[in-house]
Amino acid sequence: MSFHVGEALVGEGNEVAHIDLLIGDKSGPVGVAFASALATQSHGHSNLLAVLEPNLVVKPATVMITKVTIKGAKQAVQMFGPAQRAVADAVADCVKSGAIPKDQADKLCIVCGVFIHWEAADDQKIYQYNYEATKLSIERAMKDEPSATEMLAKKDTSSHPFFKKS
């Protein structure tokens, strides 16, 4: 498989974290998406690298893309602060745990879509929820979860938190 796909929703309220991500080889389609995301910036959509601190980028290299338009300095600081550190910590911890094989950390890259609600207020919750969602997304992606069998088994009993079927 040329890449893996992960997704997770964690938390509640305005600090809820929803992560969508791709993990793949730098020379494949995820590598192309990674380079494109980092090189293509637009008003309200500042894509950034996940770093543990300035000058300490995580491996696999991870670009964070905004899933909503950043509408002000507060929201931008939340993206470039607690969300950025959360994603970086989750990537590093997945390498540490073996969810991402350490010997592949320089070969792979990650494109990580991050949602920061414009009314989010609690930076600690932003960090915690984004950390948990990113880690879960990576773990699921690397195991190709859910399987088609699991998805079909749960389809008719599943519920979406932001939409109720009538």
Residue 133 has pLDDT above 70, yes or no: yes
Q: Which CATH superfamily is domain 3-151 in?
A: Formaldehyde-activating enzyme (3.30.230.60)
Q: Residue 159: its pLDDT value, please? A: 87
Spans of all domains in the chain: 3-151
105 neighbors 97 (Cβ within 8 angstroms)? no
Mean pLDDT of the chain: 95
Q: Tell me the whole-structure pTM to 2 decimals.
A: 0.95
% of the chain beyond a pLDDT of 70? 99
Name the pairing type of β-strands 61-66 and 108-114: parallel
% of the chain beyond a pLDDT of 90? 87
Rounded to an integer, the average pLDDT of 93-98 is: 98
Q: Active-site residue among 18, 43, 45, 160? A: 18
Q: Residue 44: its pLDDT value, please? A: 85
- Whether a cis peptide bond, with omega within 30° of 0, leads into 161 is no
Q: Residue 1: its pLDDT value, please? A: 59
Annotated catalytic, 117?
no
